[in-house]
């Protein structure tokens, strides 16, 4: 499948959020990071703000929940009009049940892994998820450097998917930029979250196009 570029509004100007949403109209999704100051040491957006983002965004919402008690809260974000809701494996008691509930609500269900969390326990369950998110930085803050050691994890996930014929997307979040996206695509990812690389560019739309082209050229 062609590469998907999902800019993270964690790097946007929150005082001008609608303006910065319109600036990424060339993207495939907008990546919305929800943090609760418990699962990660930061606090960002909650249900009312995400609801408003869904109303004004020019592209579908890819909501990434970095929160505790995902079993309780993930369906609430699905109900707001998100196209995709991703919860952390470390924050759920029943990941398959939660994924099925999200799918029943008409949204894509994603599961995320911190860098230290192994992918192997999920490999037999991949058909239950529409996307697996491999974090290539520690969740909680934007602008971190890419962790090279995550490339083998991406490769293992891709090998398992290819062997099973599955269609689950592999997303990468953390340190995605022009100098890393080629290696990430070669490892097998096809959905790329880029925050500072996009919003820090002089031409946001052109940067989205450039990242997509680099990923497709290395897939």
Which residues on neighbouring strands pair with residue 84, listed in sequence order?
62, 108
CB 29 within 8 A of CB 60: yes
Strand arrangement of the beta sheet that strand 169-173 belongs to: 4-7, 191-194, 169-173, 131-135, 108-113, 84-88, 61-66, 30-35
How many CA atoms within 13 Å lie on the side-chain side of 188? 22
Q: Which of 28, 36, 62, 173 is catalytic?
A: 173
Q: How confident is the model at residue 129 (pLDDT cuts 50, 70, 90)?
A: very high
Q: For 58-115, write each residue's pLDDT tens digit.
A: 999 999 999 999 999 999 999 999 999 999 999 999 999 999 999 999 999 999 999 9
Q: What is the spatial distance between Cα 56 and Cα 53, in angstroms, rounded to a whole number?
A: 5
pLDDT per residue over 20-49, tens digit each? 999 999 999 999 999 999 999 888 999 999
User: Would the pTM of this model clear 0.85, i.e. be above it?
Assistant: yes
65-142-13-37 Cα dihedral, nearest 10 degrees: 50
Question: Tokens 């609430």 correspond to what residue?
Answer: 76
Backbone angles phi, psi at 137, to 5 degrees: -145, 170
User: How many C-beta atoms surround the C-beta of residue 201 within 10 A?
Assistant: 17
- Band of residue 142 on the pLDDT scale cut at 50, 70, 90: confident
Residue 173: active-site member:
yes
* Active-site choice (28, 33, 36, 130): 33
Active site residue 20: no
């Amino acid at each position: 499948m062609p590469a998907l570029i999902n800019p993270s509004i964690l790097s946007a100007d929150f005082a001008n959020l609608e303006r910065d949403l319109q600036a990424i109209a060339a993207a495939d999704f907008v990546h919305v990071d929800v943090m609760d100051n418990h699962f990660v040491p930061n606090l960002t957006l909650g249900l009312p703000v995400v609801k408003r983002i869904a109303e004004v965004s020019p592209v579908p919402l890819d909501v990434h929940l970095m929160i505790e008690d995902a079993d309780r809260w993930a369906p609430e974000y699905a109900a707001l009009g998100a196209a995709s809701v991703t919860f952390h494996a470390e924050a759920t008691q029943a990941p398959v049940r939660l994924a099925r509930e999200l799918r029943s609500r008409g949204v894509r269900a994603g599961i995320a892994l911190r860098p230290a969390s192994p992918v192997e326990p999920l490999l037999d369950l991949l058909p239950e998820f529409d996307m697996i998110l491999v974090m290539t930085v520690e969740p909680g803050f934007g602008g971190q450097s890419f962790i090279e050691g995550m490339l083998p994890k991406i490769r293992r996930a891709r090998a398992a998917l290819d062997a099973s014929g599955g269609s689950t997307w592999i997303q990468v979040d953390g340190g995605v930029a022009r100098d890393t996206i080629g290696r990430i695509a070669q490892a097998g990812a096809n959905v790329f979250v880029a925050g500072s690389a996009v919003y820090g560019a002089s031409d946001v739309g052109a940067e989205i196009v450039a990242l997509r082209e680099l990923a497709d050229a290395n897939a």
